[in-house]
Chains A and B, each alone.
Chain A
Amino acid sequence: MAGLEDLYREIILDHYRSPRNRGELPSPPAQRVEGFNPLCGDEIVVTLEVSNGAVTDIKIGGTGCSISQSSASLMSAAVKGKPVAEVRDLIRTFKGMMSIHESTLPGQDTPEEAETTEAQLLDVNSLGELAALQGVVKFPVRIKCATLSWNTLAQGLDEAESESETASA
């Protein structure tokens, strides 16, 4: 049986109690994206600034449970200042982690499709503090809480990219 300590790791509780990069950047110029978890009503607002191919600033707003809030906080700390390509790799690795471990648990369905087989080859240890969230996969209902902010960020990057293409076209 998966224990609570698998889910509520100390790093997670720390980010839940003291969320990093909390708030909203003025938009525009920042990209503003909302994400919803229709199952529980949680909502997240990610505002990010992308310039010179990097995520130069990011803030997290909205409300949610400890898992969605801490995942968002950990994500913001991990991606701030990173090149967009690196952030996209991180999103893939994180989402891969949310499915790899699931598939190693016997008798349970994979709730999130692995994005690519390449993602499964990536090293979870490269995730640093984010690896604290890997216990979430033992609680399948909560996986969507953990991935909400990441899906929202991915959407934000797509929108920022398509807008900059439009602007330069």
Chain B
Amino acid sequence: MAGLTNVAHGVDVEVLKKDFPLLAQEVNGHPITYLDSAASSQRPRQVLDAMRDYEETTHANVHRGVYGIAEEATRRFEAARVAVGRFIGAPTPAREILFAKNATEGLNLVAHTWGRTHLRSGDAILLTEMEHHANIVPWQMLAEERNLTIRWIPIDDDGALILDDLDRLLDGVKLVGVTCMSNVLGTLNPVAEIARAAHDAGAVVVADAAQSVPHLPTDVATLGCDFLAFSAHKMLGPTGIGVLWGRDELLTTLPPFLGGGEMILDVRKEGFTPNDLPWRFEAGTPPITEAIGLGAAVEYLSAIGMDSVRAHEISLTSYAMRTLTERFGDDIHVFGPKDPAHRGGVISFAFRDIHPHDISQILDQYGVCVRAGHHCAKPLMRRLGVNATARASFALYNDESDVDTLVDALAETGAFFG
């Protein structure tokens, strides 16, 4: 079976894998089978080259120098911003794309700026039971500071949000935080439907898109959210940079986040005047090399086409779910939606009663990299009634042979623990 559908949907994995230097190596005497892209993805040569070229030929601080390389550095940095904005359909990318350290910092930025200026004692925030800690803890910190209440949209046993009571839950809510795609269950949430109801109730919507932007076509107008955060390192880019998109009309009204250079127009002894968008939210020298790497990652993904990436991952996810069930029957339980069209390529599973740590340890002996743990989603773990899960997650460079290797290594794991 392996290999037969690799060329389907315009993604030729065999060719594409060659772009990723790390995937050529062996681990413990086996070719590496990297199935942890939901935690961090690998980088293609094109991204590494763009970063290296910038470092070797063009590096200077941005927005300051009037000499040649400084102007070119600024041009490349701002071009990356616009490319990222177009990638998610931002109406005014040069103003609405804010570079942060990662998605987590982007979400904290919303809590510190929008949250502090709009939320008062007694207001409510609505989150979902499947949020990553990054879209929970900033709100809990703010709730403690401002005496806010936090409500939760529950999930059903298939890992889908239960929206029957949404209107009641939204009563008195000023902000809704929702993940576009669960990093544990793979669930794709109906963000547009939630955003419509939230806006009717007078709330703004903050979408955590860290898992969805790397794997699906993203259009902020279709999603209907007001803020959207994601990280470069999960979408073939480097660590150290993330993105917060916000509606121009909202960002314009917000106070700065961190203070320092770059974010000001003027500073006097008496005070300061903040800079225009987007620099108002980017204090200090930004991650320039990383922004250029992210720009190259966006270019790489766009060349393949996000529709093709999504089609490839649906096909791979459905192969994986089918193969795991055929091989292991009741010994395996995959969490989350059964229908691959309703989920991303994230497969969290329980295998017999073997602890995820032990599964991951044995799989490593076969070169198979999967994650074991609570995936920074402890409220969800409690809802699922587990301490931890093992999680295999796919990206465009995975194919059916990777799934076959996982399944064979799992069989060995089962044999090892008897």
Most buried by A among B356, B361, B365, B381: B361
Pick out which of these stretches binds chain A: B236-244, B250-258, B328-336, B370-378: B370-378
| With known contacts A4-B362, A40-B373, A139-B361, A66–B388 Cβ distance under 8 A | no
Are B387 and A4 within 8 A (Cβ)?
no
How does the 8 Å CB contact mask read for B335-352 relative to A, with 1 for contact and 0 for none? 000000000000000000
Question: CB-CB < 8 A to B388: which residues of A?
Answer: 40-42
B358 located at the interface, meaning its Cβ lies under 8 Å from any Cβ of chain A in the complex:
yes
CA–CA, A67 to B28, complex, Å?
A: 21
Residues 355 to 395 of chain B near chain A (Cβ within 8 Å): 355-358, 361-362, 365, 372-374, 378, 381, 387-388
Interface centre among B365, B372, B387, B417 (most CB of A within 10 A): B387
In angstroms, how far is the closest chain A Cβ from the Cβ of B170?
31
Judging by beta carbons under 8 Å apart, are A142 and B387 in contact?
A: no
| Contacts A67-B357, A139-B361, A145-B357; A40 near B416 (Cβ below 8 A) | no
Q: A65 — which chain B residues lie within 8 A by C-beta?
A: 355-358
Task: Please name all residues of chain A whose beta carbon is closer than 8 Å to the beta carbon of B378 when the two chains form the complex.
Answer: 41
Question: Is A39 part of the contact surface with B, judged by Cβ < 8 Å?
Answer: yes
**Residues 125-169 (chain A) with a chain B CB within 8 angstroms:** 139, 142, 145
Task: Tell me the number of A-to-B contacts counted with CB atoms below 8 Å.
Answer: 46
List residues of chain B with CB within 8 A of the CB of A145. 357
Segment 10-56 of A: residues with Cβ below 8 Å from B: 13, 17, 39-43
Minimum CB–CB distance from B409 to chain A (whole Å) comes to 12
User: Which residues from chain A contact B418 at a C-beta distance below 8 Å?
Assistant: 13, 17
Range of interface residues on chain A?
A: 20 to 34
**Nearest CB of A to B54, in Å:** 32
Q: Given the complex, which residues of A lie within 8 Å of B372, measured CB to CB? A: 40
Q: CA of A17 to CA of B352 in the docked complex: distance in angstroms?
A: 13
Chain A interface, >50% SS class: mixed
Asked if residues A142 and B357 are in contact (CB atoms below 8 Å), the reply is: yes
A7 interface hit (Cβ, 8 Å): yes
Q: Which residue of B lies closest to A43 (CB)?
A: B387
By a CB distance below 8 angstroms, the chain B residues around A139 are 361
Residue of A nearest to B374 (CB): A41
Q: How far is the CB of A42 from chain B (nearest CB, A)?
A: 6
Which chain B residues border A96 with CB–CB below 8 Å?
none
What CA separation (Å) do A98 and B355 show in the bound complex?
A: 22
Nearest chain A residue, comparing its CB with the CB of B357 = A65
- Separation of A41 and B380 alpha carbons in the complex (Å): 12
Q: With A and B bound together, what is the CA distance between A42 and B388 in angstroms?
A: 8
CA distance A25 to B415 in the complex (A): 35
Name the residue among B357, B387, B418 with the largest chain A CB count within 10 angstroms. B357
Q: CB-CB < 8 A to A116: which residues of B?
A: none
Q: In the complex, what residue of chain A is closest to B388 when comparing beta carbons?
A: A41
> Which residue, of A17, A65, A67, has the highest number of chain B Cβ atoms within 10 A?
A65
Pair B373/A39 contact, Cβ less than 8 Å: yes
Write the nearest CB–CB distance from B122 to chain A, whole angstroms: 32
Inter-chain contacts of A142 with B (CB < 8 A): 357, 361
Q: Give the Cβ gap from B388 to chain A, nearest Cβ, in Å.
A: 5
CB pair A41 B358 closer than 8 Å: no
Nearest residue (CB) in A for B378 is A41
Contact check, B387 vs A42: say whether CB atoms are below 8 A apart. Answer: yes
CB-defined contacts of B361 to chain A, threshold 8 Å: 4, 7, 139, 142
| Top 4 closest pairs, chain A to chain B, by CB | A65-B355, A65-B357, A41-B387, A41-B374
Q: Give 28 A-B contacts (CB < 8 Å), ordered by A residue.
A: A1-B28, A4-B361, A4-B362, A7-B361, A8-B416, A13-B418, A39-B373, A40-B372, A40-B374, A40-B388, A41-B378, A41-B381, A41-B388, A42-B357, A42-B387, A43-B387, A63-B387, A64-B355, A65-B357, A66-B355, A66-B357, A66-B358, A66-B417, A67-B357, A67-B358, A139-B361, A142-B361, A145-B357
A40-B356, A63-B387, A65-B355 known; 7 new pairs, CB 8 Å cut-off, are: A4-B361, A17-B418, A40-B374, A40-B387, A42-B357, A64-B387, A142-B361
